[in-house]
Copies of this chain bind each other. A is one copy, B any other.
Amino acid sequence: MKKVSEPTIGRLSVYLRLLMELAEADVDTVSSEELASRSGTTAAQVRKDLSLFGTFGKRGLGYSVPELVTRLRAILGLEKAWRVALVGAGRIGAALFGYENFRRQGFNIEAVFDTDPTKVGQRWNGLVVEADAGMERVLEERGIEIAVVAVPARAAQGVVDRLVAAGIRGILNFAPTQLDVPAGVVVKTVDMALEMEGLSYALSREEREPGAA
């Protein structure tokens, strides 16, 4: 198989979301052109992305919506439910915990950890917030595969080291910091400050040199 780039995977996720909306609306066929316009890319890009994984379309007709949903879910590893732990029961952690879409896509939060003694023992929707000390044991017991790190930046690397030692190989990080992990462990960082600064840059630029789209 050809190598698949990060941007391609991101677009596949976007296509999948659109296709699920289309399936909801009982549309059964879609062209690369339509998919492209709805996802803000080009038809050629859509076809190239999909062609990396097989040939799913029918010439002259387009793609079968239900089939492509199934294929994309398989490609993205969304056929199984993932067991997820949340480390850091603060503001972002609470928001994520309550976010139904995560569960809907098959990401089940099955453990919550925090160091704060006032938080440990709280029941979150039936799930007890665990003390940070017993983390390794709980991760093991519940077969956790993915961790969401929502602790303050200076605590993040320490938490990640423990997670990795405990066998976690996928981490979604909200702390605005660079994390070091060994090869074989995948970290995705969601950095909102960075996006805000991107906006700041773009807006100041427009003020300085108008018309530079």
A residues bordering B, Cβ < 8 Å? Answer: 6, 9-10, 12-14, 16-18, 38-40, 75-78, 80, 82, 91-92, 94-96, 98-99, 101-102, 105-107, 145-146, 169-172, 176, 178, 183-184, 186, 188, 190, 192-206, 213
Contact = CB atoms under 8 A, between A and B. Distances in A.
Copies of this chain, tallied across the complex: 2
A18 B98 CA distance: 32
B199 A101 contact: no
18 contacts: A12-B197, A12-B201, A13-B194, A14-B178, A77-B200, A77-B201, A80-B204, A91-B98, A95-B95, A101-B193, A102-B193, A105-B193, A169-B206, A170-B202, A170-B203, A171-B199, A172-B192, A188-B198
Contacts of A206: 169, 184
Lowest 7 A-B CB distances belong to which pairs? A77-B204, A91-B95, A77-B200, A188-B195, A170-B199, A186-B202, A13-B197
Contacts of A204: 76-77, 80
A33 to B, nearest CB: 15
A153 to B, nearest CB: 9
B190 A195 contact: yes
A48 to B, nearest CB: 17
Classify the secondary structure of A's interface with B.
helix
B95 A201 contact: no
A188 B195 CA distance: 6
A190 B200 CA distance: 15
A80 B105 CA distance: 40
Query: Which of A12, A184, A202: most chain B Cβ within 10 A?
Result: A202
A176 B17 contact: yes
A197 to B, nearest CB: 4
Contacts of A77: 200-201, 203-205
A16 B94 CA distance: 29
